[in-house]
Amino acid sequence: MTRKLPKLGSLLAFLLVAGAPLLAQTQSPGLTDHRASLFKLSLIVGGGVITLAVIAGAFCQAKALSSACEGISRNPGGAPHIRFLLMFGLVLIETLVIYALLITFIILIIQWGKYA
């Protein structure tokens, strides 16, 4: 527990420093309160989608690589088949992360002023 406190404190300090410019921004005259809140919500959702996708993708890739190494060490004769299936699986996992990035771009690029 005591080893995690300095890391947690560093993370909190970084988030406060990184988020400080958001507090200094003023609302543009063209946006109403409703449009501004919708725009801010879209930024949060876009950031959350890509963050969760990257975390899940990295975890799945690490698990796949670990399992493939374990399988090759148990059966060296099956290495070509295991390697092919590993590469195929990694391509599919990375494709899902790229789809999440595309969805995030779509969320962030929409001109919310026209729809709110």
Domain boundaries, the chain: 55-116
Sign of CA dihedral 22, 48, 97, 15: positive
- The pair phi, psi for residue 83, each rounded to 5°, is -65, -40
pTM: predicted TM-score of the whole model, two decimal places? 0.59
Radius of gyration of the chain (CA): 21
Per-residue pLDDT of the chain (116 residues; tens, 9 = 90+): 577 778 888 888 887 777 777 666 666 665 556 666 777 777 788 788 888 888 888 898 899 999 999 999 999 999 999 999 999 999 988 888 888 888 888 877 776 656 55
What pLDDT is attached to residue 74? 92
The Cα–Cα gap between 56 and 84 comes to: 22
Q: Which CATH superfamily includes the segment(s) 55-116?
A: F1F0 ATP synthase subunit C (1.20.20.10)
What pLDDT is attached to residue 87? 93
What pLDDT is attached to residue 81? 92
What pLDDT is attached to residue 36? 65
Measure CA 79 to chain center.
32
What pLDDT is attached to residue 44? 82
For residue 82, how many other CB atoms are within 10 A of its CB? 19
